[in-house]
Structure 1
């Protein structure tokens, strides 16, 4: 009898302050059954743009997830508020961002190790926990929600 594949959900976000500048990575990994299994809030030792921070947050989350799912058929759903990340890693070909091409290639290689991958763009307000973790890595307060799902920066 075949077993049902393990399903993981990854919420990822990155911040660059200023842009480009210091990068903070944030991710929330939700395991089978819906419970949060792991969170990531890390600052990098180098600088980059917001798109690079978003991509590095995903790679860091997949680095953590990969050993957890060795030898199992696993599906992963990636939720990101970065349309660039979702477009670059999606099934439809888009013009590459040359400077980030090696990182996107690395992400594609890692994602191929999973039985099924679903990349999905979500509005920023549905990715708040990952955003707060990325900002916290840089010593910044979370963004404050305002009416209509908009956010504003909280003063330090």
Structure 2
């Protein structure tokens, strides 16, 4: 029997995704933010310069956090998901070896997260991050 992982309740649910084509190459990022009580949804997808997949994923997370900062009221909580273990472990400080090349992204993401009193960042497999992935793959 599988154990169920219960997610903490949150005012905002958010997901991000980033990709490059080729890798390294042109980056594209996407995010979706949904208010649990009202259903208000903010979603976006856009190009994000050149880089590799870690650049794209980190840029997507940072853009999502910036969007969340615009909409989240004081005292509200956020549950944030993404399918990049590298980025999520790096931000949370659980990576076996933090990548020095990502340190500027890590610092920016952590600084934005510090503004929120109650947040939960977690990894999900790609198939459970479909909304953000579908936004990412829409034609520009």
Q: Decide: shared fold, TM above 0.5.
A: yes
Instruction: Tell me the SS of whatever aligns to 2:129.
Output: helix
Give runs of aligned pairs for residues 4-83 of structure 1, distance below 5 A. 7-33=11-37, 35-44=39-48, 46-70=49-73, 72-83=74-85
Any unmatched runs of 5+ in structure 2?
Answer: 1-8
Cα RMSD for the two superposed structures: 1.9
Shift of 1:94: 3.6
Any unmatched runs of 5+ in structure 1?
Answer: 140-156
Say if 1:122 and 1:36 are closer, same or farther in 2 by CA, change over 3 A.
Answer: farther
Structure 1 residue aligned with 2:100: 98
Q: Deviations over 1:5-38 (max 9, x none)?
A: 9711111000111001101101111113262510
> Which of structure 1's runs of 4+ aligned residues deviate more than 6 A?
none
- Residues 10, 79 of structure 2: 8 Å contact kept: no
Q: Deviations over 1:93-134 (max 9, x none)?
A: 642211111011100000011011211111101111111222
Structure 2 residue aligned with 1:84: 86
- Residues 14, 23 of structure 1: 8 Å contact kept: yes
Aligned residues: 132
- Residues 19, 56 of structure 2: 8 Å contact kept: yes
Name the TM-score, length of structure 2 as normaliser. 0.85
